[in-house]
Amino acid sequence: MKNLFHHLFLYSIILSSFLILAACSGGHQYRTMLNRADSLMTAHPDSAYAIITSIDSVSIHKQRKAVRMRYELLRAEAQNKLYIPFTTDSVLRRVVSYYDRHGSHNQQLKARYLLGCAYRDLHEAPIAILTWEDAIAAADTTAADCDYATLFRVYGQMASIYYRQYMQEEELKARERLCKYALLAGDTLSHIRGLLMQNDAYLVLGDTSVVLDNIERVRHLYLERGLTQEAAQVFPSAIHIALDRGEYENADAMMRIFEKESGLFDEQGNIQRKRETYYYHKGRYYAGIGQVDSAEIQFRRLLPFEEYRVDAYHGLLFLFQYQQQTDSVAKYALLYNNAIADYLKNTQTEAVTQVSAMYDFEKQAQKAQAVEQKAKRWRIGGVLATLLTSIVALIIYLFYSAAKAEKNRKEQELQHVTDSYNLTLEHLNKAQAEALILQQSLSDKEALERLSEDKAEQVKQLEVLVEDLHSQIEQLQDESSRLCTKESKMVSQFQFIATSHNSKDDDGIITFVRSRCATNEEWDQMLEMFQECRPDLYLFLKEAQLTRTSMKICILSRYGFKNSDISTLTDLDVKYVSNARRKLAKETFHLNSAYELNRFLISKQ
């Protein structure tokens, strides 16, 4: 039977060890996979996403929290880079909460950036802006390893929302910071693209001269780096401005470069999707130079795309008005009006959504403000408490400094009076001796009487002075004796209550009284006596920043109380008292043992 239990015990140890090793091995495997995904994230986010999604979600959530949170952070980062919309913010809120407590500034920045992207996809733009502002606040731009790449992307996302909400001034500020931090991140192309994207805001603000200067600057930066396609892609805004000004030759030159060098057109001359607004500009150009048929072809190329139908109908209406085709004018005027109505309807729906989001945001902001006010009150209370503690500490310091100074003054005064007394007594003895010698050596009766009278007067004066000095000495010694008596009385009282004893009442009945803990009132009296009689030592202990319990132990140790008596008086375990004295001796006063504590405290007076 013993052998059976022995074998079962060994098998259980082996199985436990195997499970622990397997868990550790799994954790190492996941960390390796996450490191690999992280290294691929910038250049190949699709590969990073494939690695992350290949990890079994059930197994990963059995790992340590640090591994789980990093998995969620990298998964969200890859998802965002691949334009896969977020459908919830719950996971990322947990990620943010974790990295707020355990993460670096860069991890806090990235976590809040991705949470803001989640709110962006959930169409909660105001909360997204607030979250990105928190992300910016989390970044440490003074650190050498600051994640400027994520920081400039935060500003890019904020600028996009400001643009959609017609907040051009805020958009420009965000674009400028995007450009600044893109340069610091070493991403020159993002810096140049950020400069170009500022043109959207300047166009809305009507500052076309800045737009043209900016286009020329960006085109020059692209050409410096041999990026001819990117340099040709900067022209659409400049073409739009040239057409508005009637500069058709300038517009034609830019359109030729744009179509030939931008790489945005296929062999049939079709531009890439989402850039079809160029057909409207080209239609305007043909209309401007009188090529009506070519203009109509360009305007009709916009009709299949719902988002450009307002431009298509507007262009066709302009052509038919120019040609004075009444039926077509009536037809496209109606279509244009309907397209405008649909556009306004969609805009109104978006505005309602934004207002709803703002309403939800206001409610959350009110909650956040209430929490912040509560936190502010706590901070103010903390500051006031710290200030009050500092004032009390200063008062205590000044009080005991004054007490120490008064004690020193009294000691110096006593020493001075004692010295004067001894010196005067010496003079008195000398005068008495001289008088005796004169009496013995002088034979002239008159001279003897005269000198004897002089010495007698001197002796009398010295005797008066000695008596006065003796009185002062007695007064100072009485003060010292009073303090010693008070100290002795308090120590005796504590020794009495720490010892079990018999007590007789008025009727002569004897009862046994057990030792007990000193009351708070008795401890207050002891501390008051100690700081009055031993101000130097009390100040020394206060400067050591002892707790009230440690202060009690030191005071009782100073007066020679045993560990058992200290235990009784403080209501602490004897073993705790012994360990506390040892810790105070070694860690606070740097003594070799607790045995030296009493002598050390006595030496400090």
- Ordered DSSP codes for 379-403: HHHHHHHHHHHHHHHHHHHHHHHHH
Q: Which domain holds residue 431?
A: 360-497
Domain boundary (468, 497, 526) is at 497
Give domain status of residue 556, yes or no: yes
Same domain, 434 and 555: no
Query: Is residue 3 very low, low, confident or very high in pLDDT (cuts 50, 70, 90)?
Result: low
Please state, as a whole number, how many other Cβ atoms lie within 10 Å of the Cβ of residue 381: 10
Query: Is residue 502 very low, low, confident or very high in pLDDT (cuts 50, 70, 90)?
Result: low
Q: What is the pLDDT of residue 12?
A: 47
Q: What is the pLDDT of residue 460?
A: 65
Lowest-pLDDT choice from 328-332, 413-417, 456-460: 413-417
Same domain, 493 and 369: yes
Average pLDDT over residues 51-62: 86
Give domain status of residue 465, yes or no: yes
The pLDDT tens digits of the residues spanning 272-328 come to: 999 999 999 999 999 999 999 999 999 999 999 988 988 999 999 888 888 888 888
Query: Is residue 592 very low, low, confident or very high in pLDDT (cuts 50, 70, 90)?
Result: confident
Give the amino acid at 472.
Answer: Q
Average pLDDT over residues 414-440: 54
Same domain, 456 and 384: yes
Domain boundary (450, 465, 497) is at 497
Same domain, 370 and 452: yes
Domain boundary (444, 469, 497) is at 497
3-state SS assignment for residue 534: coil
Give domain status of residue 411, yes or no: yes
Give domain status of residue 485, yes or no: yes
3-state SS assignment for residue 313: helix
> What is the CB-side half-sphere exposure of residue 316 using CA atoms within 13 A?
26
Number of domains in the chain: 2
What token pair was written down for 57? Answer: 């979600």
Same domain, 469 and 412: yes
Q: Are 466 and 421 in contact (CB under 8 A)?
A: yes
* CA 257/CA 96 separation, integer angstroms: 48
Same domain, 397 and 483: yes
Give domain status of residue 474, yes or no: yes
Same domain, 386 and 419: yes
Give domain status of residue 530, yes or no: yes
Query: Is residue 15 very low, low, confident or very high in pLDDT (cuts 50, 70, 90)?
Result: very low
Q: Output the CA torsion 397→400→406→407 (10° steps).
A: -140
* CA 368/CA 358 separation, integer angstroms: 14
Phi-psi map region of 122: left, alpha, beta (phi>0 left; psi -120 to 50 alpha): alpha
Same domain, 489 and 531: no
3-state SS assignment for residue 265: strand
Q: Are 206 and 239 in contact (CB under 8 A)?
A: no
Same domain, 540 and 485: no
Give domain status of residue 417, yes or no: yes
Same domain, 462 and 532: no
Q: What is the pLDDT of residue 428?
A: 53
Query: Is residue 260 very low, low, confident or very high in pLDDT (cuts 50, 70, 90)?
Result: very high
Residue length of the chain? 605
* pLDDT over 70 (residue 216): yes
Same domain, 485 and 544: no
Query: Is residue 341 very low, low, confident or very high in pLDDT (cuts 50, 70, 90)?
Result: confident
Same domain, 477 and 590: no
Please state, as a whole number, how many other Cβ atoms lie within 10 Å of the Cβ of residue 357: 18
3-state SS assignment for residue 502: strand
Give domain status of residue 214, yes or no: no
Q: What is the pLDDT of residue 99?
A: 95
Q: What is the pLDDT of residue 188?
A: 95
pTM beyond 0.75, yes or no: no
**E-state strands within 379-509:** 501-504
